[in-house]
Amino acid sequence: MAVQAEENKKCCIFCNIVSGLSPSHKIYEDELSLCILDINPFSRGHCLVIPKRHVPWWHELTDAENASLFRVAKAVAKKMMLALEPDFVCMYARGRRIPHTHIFLVPTYKGDVLDRFFNALELFQESPPELLTLREDAMMAETADLIRKA
């Protein structure tokens, strides 16, 4: 397992950016996190906030790294609001395709691709019958209990 983690780190584009081996457009950083422009933006200003240490999943970060990641995300989102004047800045955590935690910060405007996506997702969330059972009080209680006990 440790060998696989080391191999992932060696070929990780984000680790290469942190170490200076790969170019990036740095926006902001602190001692534990770095914010860069995404090379495949959803909108102008789309950024990625990454921990400087290679960690696949955000919930595996140390408390200090997690605090740093969200502190940097907040600072950059405020800058985006001033510089780009979006309706809001969408934030979500990833790490699936590139197994190095990253938070997407996407300036979003009414009617743009991300706004349409989330509107469609909200409609989807309300419609499939299999999701209706998840809203039932008994299922909600069971799920809450299951998570609390873990």
Supply the CATH number for residue 12's domain.
Answer: 3.30.428.10
Does residue 52 sit within a domain?
A: yes
Does residue 125 sit within a domain?
A: no
What is the domain count for the chain? Answer: 1
Catalytic member of 46, 54, 100, 102: 102
Q: Return the pLDDT at 6.
A: 53
CA dist., res. 86 & res. 94, Å (int):
22
Catalytic residue list contains 25 = no
Report the half-sphere exposure of 58 (CA within 13 A, side-chain side). 16
Domain span at 10 = 2-109
Q: Return the pLDDT at 55.
A: 93
Does residue 22 sit within a domain?
A: yes
Average model confidence (pLDDT) for the chain? Answer: 89
CA dist., res. 27 & res. 47, Å (int):
8
Task: Express each pLDDT in 35-79 by its tens digit.
Answer: 999 999 999 999 999 999 999 988 999 999 999 999 999 999 999
Task: Express each pLDDT in 94-132 by its tens digit.
Answer: 767 889 999 999 999 999 988 888 888 887 777 677 778
